[in-house]
């Protein structure tokens, strides 16, 4: 048996602001893809291994015994290698959700999560998505121009998720405005994070006292406490928002760039365009991680140490798969949704893809002559999130419409927002955000 080589020096720094990770990885020698593992640094002095092939991803993600998901198993997170001031410490604290624990605790939380997702009626879901899409589209349809990314694709999934959590529109908008402050890097982002946590905790308590048919009530019924529900809801938002938003935006861009937007009435066309986009442009480039639970495990020809950090390189693995063994046209077994015990539940995938597909369909129905106002729509340079920074479009101005159909079950009716939860922040939310416009629309209705 040939000797196992010593780990080489890091090839890439994943926190490098100018790093074009997809290009850098696609230029790697085939030998790296044969191994399936590349040494990297998450930040200066913080080593990790980036998994860039499907065989390695399959092996590691499906083996819960030898590769933990709980960040408490990450050696450098507690031995002083990662300082307290590092963003990594803030990103990976212990959390009480199905993604952040292993063993029996993981099974308990995942069972509650998958059971609660069954409270979502897939038959009613398209109508609910269209109802909320109409509210969002009404915010810009009279202008004749919009940025599809910031004003539609990034907003619709969050509001739909809030609806599925059992929130009314005002509560959903308050959550959206807190998320907006986090995304925009506002000076009070820390306070916005605490406010978001408070809003989810308050919602869990409300649904415990007033149960309904929604995801939150489903978790209550399955025995989770309010803090566990808060962390599970935050997990769903964090895991679903960007994949849905970028799948929606990429599908719209592909249809507009190929002059096929007028053909969106074809369900097959939009479904296959969505499928093609998720394979070619997965919305997550990388995601931390897995952590070996024993010394000496061999992966990709290298011997790992207990507590090493393994990073999922979904983007590189999917693009390599397309180059070497392209999947069948209708194959939706996307690695980016994960696999193994911690993979996204199938019902969660179905809900995510339904939001993206219905969102594209409804926008075309409302604005049938939608067209790109710029031919070049650059993608966001990020080693984690992969998507377009903007997608400016023009269209014939249209009149707003009433968002909810009278016959629709459990209408999400616009009502006057209640006062937002108290925050220690002195910085108001961005006044020009789409959420602020939606809040003004609700107050005037």
What is 80-129 written as a DSSP string?
SSS-TTSHHHHHS----STTS--HHHHHHHHHHHHHHHTTS-TTTHHHHH
**CA 128/CA 439 separation, integer angstroms:** 19
pLDDT of 113: 96
pLDDT of 11: 85
176 CB burial (10 A radius; 0-12, 13-18, 19+): buried
Count of domains for the chain = 1
Residue 358 lies in a domain: yes
Task: Give the pTM.
Answer: 0.83
Instruction: Identify how many contiguous H helices and E strands the chain contains and give both numbers.
Output: 17, 11
CATH code where residue 276 lies? 1.10.630.10
Residue 297 lies in a domain: yes
- Return the axis-axis angle of helices 103-117 and 226-257, rounded to nearest 10°: 60
Half-sphere exposure of 372 (CA within 13 A, CB side): 19
Residue 307 lies in a domain: yes
Residue 205 lies in a domain: no
Residue 146 lies in a domain: yes
Contact 166, 138 (CB under 8 A): no
Residue 35 lies in a domain: yes
pLDDT of 6: 63
pLDDT of 303: 94
Residue 57 lies in a domain: yes
83 Cα distance to chain centroid: 27
Contact 295, 66 (CB under 8 A): no
Instruction: Identify which of 216, 113, 228 has the alpha carbon closest to the alpha carbon of residue 166.
Output: 216
Give 41's DSSP letter.
E
Give 2's DSSP letter.
P
Structural domain of 92 = 12-166+212-414
pLDDT of 215: 96
Contact 182, 196 (CB under 8 A): yes
- Residue 317 CB neighbour total at 10 angstroms: 25
- Return the axis-axis angle of helices 189-209 and 226-257, rounded to nearest 10°: 110
- Residue 65 CB neighbour total at 10 angstroms: 9
- CA–CA distance from 182 to each of 51, 101, 186, 235 (Å)? 29, 25, 7, 15
Residue 149 lies in a domain: yes
Per-residue pLDDT of the chain (445 residues; tens, 9 = 90+): 455 556 677 889 998 888 888 888 888 889 999 999 999 999 999 999 999 999 999 999 999 999 999 999 999 999 999 998 888 887 787 888 999 999 999 999 999 999 999 999 889 999 999 999 999 999 999 999 999 998 999 889 988 999 999 998 788 878 877 776 665 544 555 677 788 889 999 999 999 999 999 999 999 999 999 999 999 998 898 888 878 888 899 888 888 887 666 555 566 778 888 888 888 888 888 989 899 999 999 999 999 999 999 999 998 999 898 888 887 777 778 888 889 999 999 999 999 999 999 999 999 999 999 999 877 766 666 677 777 888 999 999 999 985 444 433 344 433 333 333 334 433 334 334 555 555 444 443 3
Contact 397, 368 (CB under 8 A): no
Alpha helices in 184-287 (DSSP H): 189-209, 215-221, 226-257, 267-280
**CA 289/CA 241 separation, integer angstroms:** 19
User: Which pairing describes strands 145-147 and 67-68: parallel, antiparallel, or unpaired?
Assistant: unpaired
Whole-angstrom Cα Rg for the chain = 22
């Amino acid at each position: 048996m040939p000797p196992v080589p010593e780990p080489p020096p890091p090839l890439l720094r994943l926190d490098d602001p100018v790093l074009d990770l997809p290009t850098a990885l696609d230029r790697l020698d085939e030998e790296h893809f044969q191994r399936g593992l590349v040494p990297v640094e998450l930040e200066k002095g913080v080593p990790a291994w980036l998994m860039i092939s499907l065989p390695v991803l399959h092996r590691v993600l499906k083996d819960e015994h030898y590769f933990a998901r709980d960040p408490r198993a990450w050696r450098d997170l507690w031995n002083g290698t990662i300082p307290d001031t590092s963003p990594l410490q803030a990103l990976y604290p212990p959390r009480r959700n199905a993604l952040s624990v292993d063993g029996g605790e993981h099974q308990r939380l995942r069972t509650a999560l998958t059971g609660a997702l069954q409270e979502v009626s897939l038959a009613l879901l398209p109508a609910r998505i269209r109802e909320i899409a109409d509210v969002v589209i009404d915010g810009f349809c009279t202008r004749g121009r919009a940025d599809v990314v910031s004003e539609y694709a990034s907003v619709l999934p969050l509001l739909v998720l809030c609806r599925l959590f059992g929130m009314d529109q005002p509560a959903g908008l308050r959550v959206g405005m807190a998320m907006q402050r986090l995304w925009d890097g506002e000076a009070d982002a820390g306070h916005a994070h605490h406010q978001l946590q408070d809003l989810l905790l308050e919602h869990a308590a409300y649904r415990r006292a007033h149960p309904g048919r929604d995801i939150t009530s489903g978790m209550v019924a399955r025995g989770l406490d309010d803090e566990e529900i808060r962390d599970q809801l935050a997990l769903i938002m964090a895991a679903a928002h960007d994949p849905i938003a970028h799948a929606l935006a990429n599908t719209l861009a592909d249809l507009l760039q190929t002059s096929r937007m007028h053909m969106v009435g074809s369900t097959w066309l939009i479904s296959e365009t969505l499928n093609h986009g998720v394979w070619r442009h997965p919305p997550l480039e990388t995601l931390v991680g897995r952590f070996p639970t024993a010394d000496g495990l061999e992966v990709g020809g290298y011997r790992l140490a207990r507590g090493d950090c393994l990073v999922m390189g979904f983007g590189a693995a999917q693009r390599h798969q397309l180059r070497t063994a392209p999947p069948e046209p209708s194959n939706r077994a996307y690695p980016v949704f994960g696999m193994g015990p911690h993979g996204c539940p199938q019902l969660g995938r179905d809900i995510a893809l339904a939001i993206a597909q219905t969102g594209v369909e409804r926008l075309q129905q409302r604005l049938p002559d939608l067209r790109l106002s710029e031919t070049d729509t650059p993608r966001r340079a990020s080693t984690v999130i992969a998507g377009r920074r903007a997608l400016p479009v023009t269209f014939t101005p249209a009149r707003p419409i009433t968002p909810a159909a009278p016959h629709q079950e459990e209408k999400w009716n616009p009502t006057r927002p209640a006062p937002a939860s108290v925050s220690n922040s002195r910085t108001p939310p961005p006044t020009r955000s789409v959420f602020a416009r939606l809040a003004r629309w609700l107050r005037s209705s």
